[in-house]
Amino acid sequence: MTKNSDCKKFYVIGLNYKKADVVTRSNFSISKEKQKELLEEAKRVNLNSVVILSTCNRIEIMGFAKHPFQLISLLCQYSRGTMEEFAKVSYVYKNSEAAEHVIRIATGIDSQILGDYEIVGQLKEAFYQAKDAGTVNAYLERLFNISLAASKETKNKTSISSGTTTVSYAAIKYIKDNYSKKDPKNILVYGLGDIGKNTARSCAEYLEAHNLTVINRTKEKAVKIADEINAKMDVHQNLKTKIKESDIVIVATGAPAPTVTADMVSEEKEQLIIDLSIPRNADPVLNDRNNISMIDVDLLSKKTKETIEDRKKQIPLVEDIIQKHKSEFYEWLNFRRSTPAINSLKKSLEVIQKDAITSHSKKHQDINSKLVEDVTSQMINKIVSKFAMHLKAENTQANQSIKVMKDVFNLEPTES
């Protein structure tokens, strides 16, 4: 490992949809600006290898620390969550379990909607953000590359993502199942981040019988998306008017406080509000309005049971892919740890070789020193190669084997 992670272990700490409801996840969500501040703070407290993953379904910090509490305290410091709340719904993975957890996330097998690959783009974004901040070491870089390779193989060799059921598509399916083409509705998509864009595109593709309008705080982005999907666009200043006019409002703004409030909706007309945001961006008080129906990401996930049952049949195949890539990662890790020791062994054997050839050359004047050197060099290379293969094959005993080798050959200490 690197000096930055010396005496530290690799942890993943966090919470997700399995034990934490949408309100709790909202409390622990970290805005992009806060994520940048957290990474800078991590460096200040000598946590130099850290990645933050904050999505609608999970909030995690992964990195090297002497104790997971160091990462947990950062999460609580830069979110609205508390230690007590975290303890009730959290998980902590260490070393190999933590590495496998990251690989599992990338394959979609740990997503709220099984096989949902939105997480892959979010993983990439989290990784590049940390890399830009200078909080990615060789271990994390290799782990993310392995995880993305596992994701790609899962997509290519299984059908766990067939009948795509992302959060965005789940919203579309709900509308398709509950609103007839014969009675066109006015649909507003408010907020055009990644989820908002995907939802707007899906609306245009699958709900073309309805009337679609998009609004974003940044007008240029709204214009671009509207042109791309042939939808209407309105400016943010007209938001309140457009919400009152709409039959269906899809909110995907990702703001830290509600952006759709009670004064914005109709007082009489029945309206459906689908809130895809974490934290919630539609004010919860709207649930008390008789003319307003509210749906959030937790409710949407319940609408995908049929597809999920088919996808569950693919789980054994995905598990095999996960274990394959986990083994590949630890093969690399063990080889990386053992390389200094192997190089030291080779140097030690070369010293023995040189001394032996010198000694025999003095006793036997007619010895062919070049031939002896070539033959013994081949032997050294085979010995070193055999030992390297042993370390790869016997992962669980690698450290013990290296210790025995150091004791036998009196090798210099190497960095673990």
d(CA 106, CA 101): 9
Long-range contacts of 379-387 (CB under 8 A, 24+ apart): 380/346, 380/349, 380/350, 380/353, 383/349, 384/342, 384/345, 384/346, 384/349, 387/342, 387/345
Judge whether 14 and 90 are in contact, CB under 8 Å: yes
Beta-sheet strand order (sheet of 292-296): 232-233, 211-215, 186-190, 248-251, 271-275, 292-296
CA triple 367-369-374, angle to 5 deg: 130
Can you tell me which residue has the tokens 């830290």?
256
56 as an active site residue: the answer is yes
What is the distance between the alpha carbons of residues 268 and 410, in angstroms, rounded to a whole number? Answer: 85
211, containing H or E segment: strand 211-215
> Long-range contacts for 213-220 (Cβ within 8 Å, ≥24 apart)?
213/186, 213/187, 213/188, 213/189, 213/242, 213/246, 214/188, 214/189, 214/190, 215/188, 215/189, 215/190, 215/191, 215/239, 215/242, 216/190, 216/191, 216/192, 217/191, 217/253
Residues in the chain: 416
Distance CA 258, CA 277 (A): 10
Q: Indicate if the alpha-carbon torsion angle 281, 284, 288, 294 is positive or negative.
A: positive
| Structure tokens that stand for 214 in this block | 């998009």
- Answer for the pair 300, 171: CB distance below 8 angstroms, yes or no: yes
Q: Which listed residue (7, 56, 76, 203) is catalytic?
A: 56
Q: Check if the beta carbon of residue 282 is closer than 8 Å to that of residue 251.
A: yes
Q: Which residues pair with 294 in a beta bridge?
A: 273
With contact defined as beta carbons under 8 Å apart, do 239 and 281 qualify? no
Q: Tokens representing 245?
A: 């006019």
3-state secondary structure of 215: strand
Residues recognised as catalytic: 56
